[in-house]
Amino acid sequence: MEMHIHTVAGYQGERLYTIWYPPTGKLRGSILWVHGYAEHSGRYEAVIRYLSAQGWGNLVWDLRGHGRSTGRRGFITDMEEYLYDLTAVRTHWKGKFSEPTVLFGHSLGGLIVLRYRQKYPEIWSPAATIVSAPLIQLRLQVPAWKKTLGQIAARFFPTLSLPSGLEPKHLTHDEAEALAYAQDPLVFRVATAGWFAAIQRAQVELWKDLPKLTEGAYLFLLPKEDPVCDSEATQRFFHHLPAPKKQLISYEGSYHEPLHETFREKVYGDLLTFLSKL
């Protein structure tokens, strides 16, 4: 599969690792991907290979503090840093894009793309937004001592790193995929107090600005047995989403990552069916 790699200048000088995958089939459109927390863009190669063969160009990148991008692991001071970086990445590569354009986010990436759609429609309004297990509300249980320590640290020691609690067994029933995640050198196991506080603020603002999501089509991929993000909160958010073109697909028995589950070929097919209607 052909790929074009480039390092893009992000907010405050961070260096963002990006890859453009041209389509191998007849050109249909373009997708910009935003990965989840503590992972990286390389984990999406299988689905990208599938969609590339169906005519979709794909742009992936590593968030600041993730993968091959620069930045302190698992740290931001505010969600805006991710949003500014997303603009920088798209601006660099937009000459490669063809319509219709799609914005895809998984987990943390889902929260990022929804906030982007709320805050910056004048910069870019893609034809469709797809989110997989979006981090609208955390379901993963955080011990009381960690919450207390995190609240104190967020104010006085925002770069303090604590174990994230995210485990391979939370992600998929596929043992090979879980093992690959566990052994991936670009995956990390911590979260900083500053990052967690910034995410909590963004989640509050996400609900506050929900009425702004009126343009374009939306697809929500919902793993029903997600131990990381709260699926019921996501369903409530989808129910109140004002956009008239919206669809939610539930995956019974799925853990946090439908794209890495044992039935991932079905998820790939669901994505293609949705994209073919744009």
State how many domains the chain has. 1
For position 152, what pLDDT does the model report?
Answer: 56
Which residue's structure tokens are 């993000």? 229
Identify the CATH number of the domain in which residue 251 sits: 3.40.50.1820
Place of tokens 């742009």: 59
Helix pair 193-208, 108-119: axis angle to 10 deg:
50
Q: State residue 144's pLDDT score.
A: 53
Q: How far is CA 129 from CA 72, 115, 278, in A?
A: 28, 11, 11
Q: How confident is the model over 172-227, as pLDDT tens digits? A: 999 999 999 999 999 999 999 899 999 999 999 999 999 999 999 999 999 999 99
Q: Which amino acid is at 269?
A: G
Each residue's pLDDT expressed in tens, for the chain with a length of 278 residues: 899 999 999 999 999 999 999 999 788 999 999 999 999 999 999 999 999 999 999 999 999 999 999 999 999 999 999 999 999 999 999 999 999 999 999 999 999 999 999 999 999 999 999 999 999 999 866 655 455 555 655 564 677 777 788 899 999 999 999 999 999 999 999 999 899 999 999 999 999 999 999 999 999 999 999 999 999 999 999 999 999 999 999 999 999 999 999 999 999 999 999 999 99
Residue 100 belongs to what domain range? 4-275
